[in-house]
């Protein structure tokens, strides 16, 4: 996440685990559900929120003991709003957040 713009530091690397759902939507329409249940005047200038009454997280939480994707905490819907895209992550674990103060490489690994 780059709250001061992509060309400025600090930036923040957010790592999610136990992900139940992920969305990446165009900025114009991706927040309508959230805004329909949230008072925009209370949002301030932040670019990341927890959607406390998200129907998406409530739906996954209702699975109770199944926890197909893992996680030990409550199922929570995180929202990150950007200039061109809005990201939503429904997860059963608290994400880790790492501050990045300058350029660095990032290696992505996946298993098929």
Of residues 101, 89, 107, the one with CA closest to residue 18: 89
* pTM greater than 0.95: no
Cβ neighbors of 87 (< 8 A, separation 6 or more) are 22, 23, 24, 79, 80, 81
* Model pLDDT for residues 65-106, shown as the tens digit of each residue: 666 667 888 889 998 887 777 889 999 999 999 999 999 998
* Model pLDDT for residues 28-76, shown as the tens digit of each residue: 665 666 666 667 666 666 678 888 888 888 888 777 666 666 788 888 9
3-class SS of residue 6: coil
The label of the residue with tokens 């939507």 reads 25
Domain boundaries, the chain: 20-92
């Amino acid at each position: 996440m780059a709250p001061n713009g992509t060309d400025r530091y600090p930036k923040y690397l957010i790592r999610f685990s136990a992900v139940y759902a992920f969305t990446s939507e165009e900025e114009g329409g991706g927040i309508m559900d959230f805004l329909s249940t949230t008072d925009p005047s209370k949002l301030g200038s932040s670019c990341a929120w927890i959607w406390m009454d998200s129907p998406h997280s409530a739906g996954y939480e209702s699975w109770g003991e199944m926890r197909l994707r893992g996680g030990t905490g409550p199922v929570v819907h995180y929202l990150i709003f950007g200039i061109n895209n809005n990201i939503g992550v429904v997860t059963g674990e608290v994400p880790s957040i790492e501050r990045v103060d300058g350029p660095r490489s990032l290696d992505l690994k996946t298993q098929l």
